[in-house]
Amino acid sequence: MTPVIRPPAVLVFSWLAALVLLSITVIAAYLPLGAGNTIVALLIAFTKAAIVAAVFMELRRQNGFIITFATAGFFWLAILFWLAFTDYSTRANFPPTINWGL
Amino acid sequence: MPEPQPAAQFAHLPQQHEVAQLGIWTFLATEVLFFGALLLSYAVYRSADPAAFAEAARHTKIAIGTINTAILLTSSFLVAWAVAVVKTGGSRFAAFLLWSAAALGLSFIGLKGVEYAMEYGEHLLPGFGFRYDGPASQSVALFFSFYIVATVIHAIHVAVGIAVFAVIGRRAYQHAYSGSYHSPVIVFGLYWHFVDIVWIFLFALIYLPGRSG
């Protein structure tokens, strides 16, 4: 088999797209969008991560079994964030009511 | 060159390859939770004092951070290219791509070192002569504690990747990989891409906040 050394077009395109997104996110960080700055930064970060995962990590070509393994960590992480923020966002509303005799 | 054989416990190479893939994805799932817990602590403290975190983030070196992001994205592209090449039997050319990715990793760590030196000079690193005037000083110290822990752990991951690509690149140069056997390139490529993804989020959380204020 003759080796093909030219990079596949989809890789080149994804690489350039990630670099363009990087430029956009840096420019957007300097625009006065208020709370929108964080949302834009995170949306672009997720988009770049999705490009790396789908194209560079070839997840778009994998079967459900591998995808399940790949997303398992994020599933548990979502539970961690959910429970932690349930605690921190409501802690002030539920002050401790039990006096431990101290 | 003899056809590569599967290890004794596997029936055939594709089975061995699938097991290796599941293995690295399982490892990466533990890494998601490892870095995820760090990001959770960042999110909790940032939501407690967003203005101070924005103020602290303004002191990070966004030019170096941006260049380093471009460096890691490019190295990921080279590794993905190496995987595509090695699948068609281009083991030797893949070696150069993997070594180039490792060299980019080295320049990433070099720039990170420059950045740490600048921050050390500005007394921004908690535990290394941290000094900050103003009411936000405690939250700024928290931000930079997260910064240093997260980026040092990330840099260690980059260093491991550089060492692995140096070795795998050498094996590739010796034609150890072929169209039918190239699992190590794919598996460590996945590791490298994951380290890239971690950086994409660290970049958004460390360098971008507070720039418009």
Question: pLDDT tens digits, residue range B75-86?
Answer: 999 999 999 999
Residue A11 to residue B81, Cβ atoms within 8 A: yes
Q: What is the predicted pLDDT for the residue at B4?
A: 81
Nearest CA in chain A to B96: A5
Interface test with B, best of A2, A5, A44 (most B CBs within 10 A): A5
B119, HSE (Cβ side, Cα atoms, 13 Å): 26
Cβ within 8 Å of B, A 61-80: 65-66, 69-70, 72-74, 76-77, 80
Query: How many Cβ pairs within 8 Å bridge chains A and B?
Result: 139
Q: What is the predicted pLDDT for the residue at B124?
A: 96
Residue A1 to residue B196, Cβ atoms within 8 A: no
pLDDT digits over B202-213, tens only? 999 999 999 987
Which chain B residues have a beta carbon less than 8 Å from that of A24?
none
CA-to-CA dists, residue B33 to A63, A80, B37, B199, angstroms: 23, 9, 6, 15
pLDDT averaged over every residue in chain A: 92
pLDDT digits over B29-55, tens only? 999 999 999 999 999 999 999 999 999
Which chain B residues have a beta carbon less than 8 Å from that of A12?
77
pLDDT digits over B109-122, tens only? 999 999 999 999 99
Question: Is the confidence at residue A93, as pLDDT, over 90?
Answer: no
Question: Is the confidence at residue A70, as pLDDT, over 90?
Answer: yes
Question: Is the confidence at residue A100, as pLDDT, over 80?
Answer: no
pLDDT digits over B141-176, tens only? 999 999 999 999 999 999 999 999 999 999 999 999
Which chain A residues have a beta carbon less than 8 Å from that of B208?
25-26, 29, 37, 41
DSSP B64-117: HHHHHHHHHHHHHHHHHHHHHHHHTT-HHHHHHHHHHHHHHHHHHHHHHHHHHH
Joined together, the tokens standing for residue B181 give 């056997």
DSSP A35-77: THHHHHHHHHHHHHHHHIIIIIT-GGG--HHHHHHHHHHHHHH
Helix, strand, coil percentages in chain A from 3-state DSSP, rounded to 5: 75, 0, 25
Q: What is the predicted pLDDT for the residue at B5?
A: 86
Q: What is the predicted pLDDT for the residue at A4?
A: 80
Question: Is the confidence at residue B1, as pLDDT, over 60?
Answer: no
pLDDT category, A1, cuts 50, 70, 90? Answer: low
Which chain B residues have a beta carbon less than 8 Å from that of A56?
76-77, 79-80, 189, 193, 196
Q: What is the predicted pLDDT for the residue at A91?
A: 86
pLDDT digits over A49-66, tens only? 999 999 999 999 998 999
CA-to-CA dists, residue A62 to A21, A55, A57, A66, A67, angstroms: 25, 11, 10, 6, 7
Residue A33 to residue B66, Cβ atoms within 8 A: no
Question: B127: distance to nearest CA of chain A, Å?
Answer: 27
Of B43, B73, B212, the CB nearest to A32: B212
B120, HSE (Cβ side, Cα atoms, 13 Å): 8
pLDDT digits over A13-40, tens only? 999 999 999 999 999 999 999 889 999 9
Interface test with A, best of B28, B61, B81 (most A CBs within 10 A): B81
Residue A45 to residue B69, Cβ atoms within 8 A: no
Q: What is the predicted pLDDT for the residue at B3?
A: 75
Q: How far apart are CA A71 and CA B32, in angstroms?
A: 10
Average pLDDT (A85-101) is: 82
pLDDT category, A102, cuts 50, 70, 90? Answer: low
Average pLDDT (A1-11) is: 86
